[in-house]
Chain A
Amino acid sequence: MTMKMLTPAFAVQRDTERCIGCGVCINQCINEVHHMDEDGWMWVDEDRCVGCQRCGVLCPTHALSITEFPMQFRGNQYWSPSHIREIYAQAQTGGVLLTGMGNPRRYRCYFDHLLLNASQVTNPSIDPLREPMELTTYLGNKDVEVPDREKPQLKLKVPVMFAAMSYGAVSLNVQNSLAMAAREAGTMWNTGEGGLHADLREFAPHTIVQVASGRFGVNPDYLGAAAAVEIKIGQGAKPGIGGHLPGEKVTPDVARTRMIPTWSDAISPAPHHDIYSIEDLAQLVETLKVATRYTKPISVKVAAVHNIAAIASGIVRAGADIVVIDGFRGATGAAPLRIRDNTGIPIEVALAQVHQRLLDEGIRQRASLVASGGIRSSADVIKAIILGADAVYIGTAALIALGCHMCQCCFTGRCNWGIATTDARLSKRLNPRLGAEMAANLLQAWAHEIKEMMGGMGINSVDSLRGNRLMLRGVGLERHELELLGVLAAGE
């Protein structure tokens, strides 16, 4: 064993004046940071702390606070503490660094450089409490080739859907919460690539099922039990990388849902091995359309990579009814850290470019665009729609609504908040009745806020917002960035 080079990442500070020794922190920490000795003294093992803050939040007397460990590396503008930490970790293990959630690094966030318009004098703003304000959105191919023969459409009462998170990566209670919330709010939840659990069949009209490279749980029944089918080519957190659900997460229930042996590793290959090019994608799209008797929209999800506009155009021409673009802030249950932090492009730019490209090619009607990856608030939603999205997916925001504290340890399976785990002791920490309520509340709150902002702009249908770039102005952006986003600078 080599010498351990690292101090703990977090300091657990216990105010003994407030601590009553009730033991909530002890029984809630799956990482066993806290313990009480035989004399009734409380001790902490800070090396084990991941900063999830479960103990601090549940402590009835707020005696705990979790902070960054005070001893920092000697200041260096170039070698940041995370660089140094990661090198130590790799020197210890010799392995690829794994992480969870989305890219946390400081890249420019375009959402934060875009401002919305509002009506003054020349046209009236609209009060959403007094006038109808429409958020209803339909996803699908709007190009009617044969008169009166419309392609299948997905109806959303609010243009926000829950992003794909598979059973196995998250607990069944998480999926159950999101499915109930989706039904309540009139939107969709997405199974991810881990199959559809039998208990969730009843949510079929609000379910998008995923077909990914591992093809877990895919059968005619599965395709039949959904409102739409999504082919996952890639995701923003790890473009070009497959998935790996470690065997210890593959409980009998997960195994049954995924249709694989219990406790075996579930590996999703990096590419679909039947899709090595765009024409192969066209075949899979057509296959799924045939399998679902042309009754459901087929969606294709790709990560936002450098030539995303051309890729999206190809996907639309391959017959996809919905194109999902997942930006580089998109989250995941597990990804190699270097990939997550250094691959892809921002969703704002990708979206603006894809929307414009599809318009320029005259094929925007043939598919709906869904933006995902790092949508943090209703303001981000409305900005994404103005940049060209028909709707958005939220993953991280939905999990935060369910209690996630962003400790980024999803890949360990030891999620103290009972979200990214299949351990029965942990997953019962999320009561789906409460989870559904919180997730549905979030959508309701966002819908209200979107209506307020639309009313301010004098627009009463979300249809009139899509691609309406005059409703945005950029602040602090370079000329070429404004051009890429297709917006004017503030003051112009």
Chain B
Amino acid sequence: MKVVSYSEYCLGCGLCRIHCAAGHDGYNGNILKAYKRGTPRPRADLIFHQDQSWLNTCQHCPDAPCVNACITGALQQYDRGVVYIDEEICVSCYTCIMVCPYGHIFPGEQAVLKCDLCRERPGQPACVAACPNGALRLVNEGETA
């Protein structure tokens, strides 16, 4: 499973990033709390190129290079190919950041930051739910993007 971004309908508004940050680190989707009182840490980035934009987020690759490269075993691939990070084990060595071919893993202080498809959130991942134009979709591996 992964979140796929459709640049032809991406508005570049950035709501996906904002909801991503507020959906993690215990903010429970409270944007004001994340941005006014806390330290928002989005797990994905919005890329702009010419007139196009899209959300750059973990593709949960089959045979993921980051999982192979992880020196502590903090990154593991689970059911349906989803790559999760165990923040307790991660030592922030950044090896995964180096090997990720897309730049989908971001540096963090205690542990690296990466998309976990909002595993604690009921329903769709926060970015998909927040996209006002249906430009993000959660798809299964092998499904046409």
Do any CB atoms of chain A lie under 8 A from CB atoms of chain B in the complex?
A: yes
The answer to whether B31 touches A434, judged by C-beta atoms less than 8 angstroms apart, is: no
Cβ–Cβ < 8 Å partners of B132 in chain A: 58
With A429-B11, A434-B134 given, is the CB distance from A60 to B51 under 8 Å?
no
- Bound Cα distance A18, B14 (Å): 17
User: Is A67 an interface position by the 8 A CB rule?
Assistant: no
With A18-B32, A20-B36 given, is the CB distance from A428 to B14 under 8 Å?
no
| Contact string against B for A residues 408-430, beta-carbon threshold 8 Å, 1 for contact and 0 otherwise | 00000000000000001100111
The answer to whether B31 touches A433, judged by C-beta atoms less than 8 angstroms apart, is: no
The answer to whether B31 touches A20, judged by C-beta atoms less than 8 angstroms apart, is: yes
User: Is B117 an interface position by the 8 A CB rule?
Assistant: no
User: Is B144 an interface position by the 8 A CB rule?
Assistant: no
A-B contact pairs, 20 of them (CB 8 A): A18-B32, A20-B31, A21-B35, A22-B35, A24-B14, A24-B15, A24-B18, A58-B132, A60-B130, A61-B32, A61-B35, A424-B51, A428-B8, A428-B9, A428-B10, A428-B11, A428-B133, A429-B133, A431-B134, A433-B134
User: Is A28 an interface position by the 8 A CB rule?
Assistant: yes
User: Is A27 an interface position by the 8 A CB rule?
Assistant: yes
Q: Which residue of B lies closest to A423 (CB)?
A: B51
The answer to whether A60 touches B135, judged by C-beta atoms less than 8 angstroms apart, is: no
Shortest CB distance B111–A (Å): 24
Cβ–Cβ < 8 Å partners of B15 in chain A: 24, 58, 60
Contact of B14 among A17, A22, A431, A433 (CB under 8 A): A22
Q: Which residue of A lies closest to B34 (CB)?
A: A20
CB-contacts of A386-406 with B (<8 A): none
Shortest CB distance A29–B (Å): 11
Q: Most chain-A Cβ atoms within 10 A of its Cβ — which of B8, B13, B15, B51?
A: B13
Contact of B133 among A20, A22, A431 (CB under 8 A): A431
- Which residues of chain B have a CB within 8 Å of any CB of chain A? 8-15, 18-19, 31-32, 35-36, 51, 130, 132-135
Cβ–Cβ < 8 Å partners of B51 in chain A: 424-425
Cβ–Cβ < 8 Å partners of A60 in chain B: 15, 18-19, 31, 130
The answer to whether B12 touches A27, judged by C-beta atoms less than 8 angstroms apart, is: yes
- Bound Cα distance A17, B32 (Å): 9
How many A residues face the partner with a CB closer than 8 A? 20
Q: Which residue of B lies closest to A424 (CB)?
A: B51
Cβ–Cβ < 8 Å partners of B12 in chain A: 27
- Bound Cα distance A304, B15 (Å): 45
- Bound Cα distance A264, B36 (Å): 50
Q: Which residue of A lies closest to B133 (CB)?
A: A431
- Bound Cα distance A367, B32 (Å): 60
Q: Most chain-B Cβ atoms within 10 A of its Cβ — which of A24, A428, A430?
A: A428
Shortest CB distance A34–B (Å): 12
User: Is A23 an interface position by the 8 A CB rule?
Assistant: yes
Cβ–Cβ < 8 Å partners of A27 in chain B: 11-14
CB-contacts of A174-232 with B (<8 A): none
Q: Which residue of B lies closest to A430 (CB)?
A: B133
The answer to whether B31 touches A58, judged by C-beta atoms less than 8 angstroms apart, is: no
- Bound Cα distance A18, B8 (Å): 31
Shortest CB distance B116–A (Å): 21
Cβ–Cβ < 8 Å partners of B36 in chain A: 17, 20
The answer to whether B18 touches A22, judged by C-beta atoms less than 8 angstroms apart, is: yes
Shortest CB distance B134–A (Å): 4
Cβ–Cβ < 8 Å partners of A430 in chain B: 133
With A18-B32, A60-B19 given, is the CB distance from A24 to B13 under 8 Å?
yes
With A27-B13, A425-B51, A431-B135 given, is the CB distance from A20 to B18 under 8 Å?
yes
| Contact string against B for A residues 6-23, beta-carbon threshold 8 Å, 1 for contact and 0 otherwise | 000000000001101111
Q: Which residue of A lies closest to B132 (CB)?
A: A58
Shortest CB distance B136–A (Å): 11
CB-contacts of A44-96 with B (<8 A): 58, 60-61
Shortest CB distance A60–B (Å): 5
CB-contacts of A111-125 with B (<8 A): none
